[in-house]
Amino acid sequence: MKPLINRLRGVERDILQAPERSNPPYYEPQGNEIQVFEAAYRKRLPVMLKGPTGCGKTRFLEYMAWRLNRPLVTVACHEDLTSADLVGRFLLEGEQTVWQDGPLTRAVKAGAICYLDEIVEARTDTTVVIHPLTDHRRRLPLEKKGQEIEAHEDFMLVISYNPGYQTVLKDLKPSTKQRFIGIQFDFPNEALELRILGNEVPDLNPELARKLVAVGQRARALKDHGLEEATSTRALVYAANMMAVGLPPVEACRVAMVNPVTDDLELAEALMEIVRAHF
Ligand code: ADP
């Protein structure tokens, strides 16, 4: 068996390949986000994708990585994620300690796009690490190694940020936010969402797709009545998939769009009423 470090290096090479040219990710633009992102990339400015969960931010970035022909390194941030998880650490291998680059360091070296998804979730020391990368310095300190590396000229940093989640205790500092170009996302309008469903789930009956999109639009209005998260395009795609393989529409909506988003029986019933009014 290969030593650990070689195996990890092998993984690294695989991760850092640019997306397959012949297979563009499917993305429907909502506005001028493609032009804005390209302009930011030309100037190597870091970008913040703002908007609710499941509205297309990740898909957009997959598409942009393909369009710009750059590898994409995605890190789903969580509350235990530390700067060492991003940057790297010394690992024990037999008698030796070997340095293992983290995903951010690999992206910085290889000239990839690094996507830190929901960075506010991570420990605050992670934001300290990205600061010198977001300004003219474009450098990444590897503190434990006593080194600082210069970013590859094609490297770009992208973060996502869901304004609905933020509390006073958990938010990015204004001094961090203002280092990014901010692109606002929201759920697509009815016509666009119908097109997305048609592409994502081509075997769904168009009449069912139309009704499903109408349910989604109505359900989003309940957001202000206590639902933590609005019904997302992702949830509609899930429901469409369940219907396409034969689950009755009302059940498909229950399991894909109602059960996962609320534990409150009254709210669930209010959502189900909307569903039943359409199917
Ligand atoms: P986010 O990153 O905002 O949480 P995603 O990018 O994962 O959301 O989007 C969820 C799903 O919704 C995608 O997998 C895709 O099926 C669909 N989707 C949403 N918006 C679009 C869009 N503009 N074009 C194509 N698919 C979309």
Confidence class of residue 4 from pLDDT cuts 50, 70 and 90? very low
Q: What is the dihedral of CA 39, 43, 46, 47, to 10 degrees?
A: 0
pTM of the model: 0.90
Residue 204: closest CA among 251, 239, 171: 239
Domain boundaries, the chain: 32-184, 190-277
Predicted pLDDT at 121: 86
- Tell me whether residue 140 is exposed, middle or buried, using C-beta atoms within 10 angstroms of its C-beta: 0 to 12, 13 to 18, 19 or more: buried
Q: How far is the CA of 1 from the centre of ligand 1 (A)?
A: 40
Q: How far is the CA of 59 from the centre of ligand 1 (A)?
A: 5
Q: What is the dihedral of CA 176, 178, 180, 186, to 10 degrees?
A: 100
Question: Nearest 5 degrees, angle CA 120-CA 121-CA 122?
Answer: 90
Q: Which of 34-38, 175-179, 185-189, 233-237 has the lowest mean pLDDT?
A: 175-179
In this predicted complex, what is the ipTM? 0.99
pLDDT for residue 221 is more than 80: yes
Q: How far is the CA of 149 from the centre of ligand 1 (A)?
A: 34
Q: How far is the CA of 274 from the centre of ligand 1 (A)?
A: 23
Confidence class of residue 161 from pLDDT cuts 50, 70 and 90? confident
28 lines ligand 1 (CB under 6 A): yes
pLDDT for residue 11 is more than 60: no
Residue 120: closest CA among 72, 69, 173: 173
- Summarize the confidence of residues 99-106 as an average pLDDT: 95
Question: Could you give the CA distance from residue 46 to residue 172 in angstroms, rounded to a whole number?
Answer: 15
The answer to whether 103 and 73 have CB atoms below 8 angstroms apart is yes
Predicted pLDDT at 10: 43
24 lines ligand 1 (CB under 6 A): no
- Summarize the confidence of residues 156-182 as an average pLDDT: 82
Domain 32-184 = CATH 3.40.50.300:
yes
Residue that has been written with the tokens 């506005």 in this structure: 31
200 lines ligand 1 (CB under 6 A): yes
- Tell me whether residue 170 is exposed, middle or buried, using C-beta atoms within 10 angstroms of its C-beta: 0 to 12, 13 to 18, 19 or more: exposed
Return the residue whose CA atom lies nearest to atom 18 of ligand 1.
56
